[in-house]
């Protein structure tokens, strides 16, 4: 079995979650150190109650310029006790858990690229390997990472769904949206006319708000409802709903935020309830043209491998959003997984086998293209 497949199978069987990456981080560190790399761990975990930090390791290839290769070590819930199986050209779980190919396939690909670059016999730019924690909990590890430690101005996040060959050139920005409604409590049987029902006022707001797919680049979702009590004999004085809006178009994002605030006020007017909205930016969008060098280097690598390339935008945020906001041009690279975040998650075995080679060839294609921005 290839090293990359072995590493992948080993890593997914180490229990982990966002904030509980210790076992995976120790295994990744040991593998990199066995390859002769020095690994530094930061204290990002402490910023969100986690037990591991981001890992940074550098591989010097003798050419000027640096390139960032990134993957995350955490996974979404239902990722304990994973029993991976190879079946019909795929790796799947036993059907009761996720597979955690998101993103241990990326982690395994990056480790494999170290082995390959060390053996390639060519000079290449300096590679900064960054393995993050807390990605699935809101990009917490990358947000806590001190990007001034990086020299790279371009990079690749090996963390996108789709077949090997897909390059994600754009990802949405996201804001968290909260609407709180304050009414007035009263006994529901004795004097309901003295109360103002926050629940029905909130229902009015939600019944008429534009959500779901807003346009080809934008979505909104209101998902969490709460009013603090569980009794029916009081006219409810408080209700809250939390949601999110994402868009690859920054103008659409600000327009929706304005609409959200106005709609909440207007829909509840006449109910007597007071409305408070809170908008919290989570991360910024990014977008690259297909002729951007960061995309062209990936396309050249895919051409060398005879893999079919596909460049398009994604619907999720990732560590790349954080790096782009910090001025490092990072795009997403697919490793062959699909159905991530659910029990049907799978990865195409042949794609995984070649994901390390793709990382290697991307680095080498920068050398062919005449170097990297310093
Ligand atoms: Zn991921």
335-345 residue pLDDT tens: 999 999 999 99
C-alpha 60 to ligand 1 mean position (Å): 27
148-160 residue pLDDT tens: 999 999 999 999 9
Which are the catalytic amino acids? 74, 135
Q: How far is CA 274 from CA 186, 260, 267, 269, in A?
A: 16, 15, 11, 8
* Bond from prior residue into 73 cis (ω within 30 degrees of 0): no
pLDDT of residue 207: 97
Residue 76: burial class (beta carbons within 10 Å; 0-12, 13-18, 19+)? middle
pLDDT of residue 315: 83
Structure tokens belonging to residue 61: 């290839």
Q: What does DSSP assign to residue 81? A: S
Measured distance CA(193)–CA(178) in Å, rounded: 28
Whether 371 shows a pLDDT value over 80: the answer reads no
Q: Which domains does the chain have, with CATH numbers?
A: 3-172+285-368 (3.40.630.10), 173-282 (3.30.70.360)
pLDDT of residue 70: 98
Measured distance CA(214)–CA(251) in Å, rounded: 13
C-alpha 70 to ligand 1 mean position (Å): 11
pLDDT averaged over every residue in the chain: 96
C-alpha 106 to ligand 1 mean position (Å): 9
162-196 residue pLDDT tens: 999 999 999 999 999 999 999 999 999 999 999 99
C-alpha 254 to ligand 1 mean position (Å): 26
What is the maximal distance between C-alpha atoms in the chain?
A: 85
| Main-chain dihedrals φ then ψ at residue 138, nearest 5 degrees | 120, 35
Q: Which residue has the tokens 């409604």?
A: 181
pLDDT band at 269, cuts 50/70/90? very high
pLDDT band at 15, cuts 50/70/90? very high
C-alpha 72 to ligand 1 mean position (Å): 7
| Main-chain dihedrals φ then ψ at residue 310, nearest 5 degrees | -145, 120
C-alpha 135 to ligand 1 mean position (Å): 7
Q: Which residues neighbour 278 within 8 Å (Cβ) at sequence distance 6 or greater?
A: 176, 177, 178, 179, 180
């Amino acid at each position: 079995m290839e090293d990359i497949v072995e590493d992948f199978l080993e890593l997914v069987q180490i229990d982990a979650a966002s904030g509980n990456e210790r076992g995976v981080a120790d295994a990744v560190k040991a593998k990199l150190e066995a390859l002769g790399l020095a690994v530094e761990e930061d204290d990002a975990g402490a910023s969100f109650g986690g037990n591991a930090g981001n890992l940074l390791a550098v591989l010097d290839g003798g050419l000027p310029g640096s390139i960032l290769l990134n993957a995350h070590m955490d996974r979404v819930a239902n990722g304990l006790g994973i029993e991976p199986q190879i079946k019909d050209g795929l790796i799947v779980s036993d059907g009761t858990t996720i597979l955690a190919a998101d993103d241990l396939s990326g982690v395994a690909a990056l480790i494999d690229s170290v082995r390959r670059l060390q053996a390639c016999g060519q000079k290449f730019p300096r590679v900064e390997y960054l393995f993050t924690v807390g990605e699935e909990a809101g990009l917490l590890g990358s947000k806590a990472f001190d990007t001034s430690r990086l020299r790279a101005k371009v990079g690749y996040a090996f963390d996108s769904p789709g077949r090997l060959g897909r390059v994600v050139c754009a990802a949405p920005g996201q804001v968290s949206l909260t609407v709180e409604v304050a009414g007035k409590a009263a006994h529901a049987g004795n004097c309901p006319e003295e109360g103002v029902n926050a629940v029905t006022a909130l229902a009015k707001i939600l019944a008429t708000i534009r959500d779901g797919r807003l346009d080809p680049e934008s979505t909104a979702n209101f998902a969490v409802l709460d009013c603090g009590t569980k009794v029916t004999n009081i006219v409810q004085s408080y209700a809250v709903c939390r949601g999110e809006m994402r868009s690859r178009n920054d103008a659409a994002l600000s327009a929706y935020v304005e609409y959200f605030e106005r709609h909440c006020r207007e829909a509840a007017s006449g109910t007597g309830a007071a409305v408070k909205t809170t908008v919290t930016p989570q991360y910024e969008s990014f977008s690259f043209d297909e002729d951007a060098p960061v995309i062209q280097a990936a396309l050249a690598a895919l051409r060398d491998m005879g893999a079919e390339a596909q460049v398009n935008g994604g619907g999720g945020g990732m560590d790349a959003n954080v790096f782009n906001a910090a001025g490092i041009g990072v795009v997403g690279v697919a490793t062959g997984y699909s159905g991530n975040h659910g029990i049907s998650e799978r990865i195409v075995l042949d794609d995984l086998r070649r994901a390390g080679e793709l990382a290697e060839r991307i680095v080498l294609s920068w050398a062919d293209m005449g170097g990297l921005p310093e």
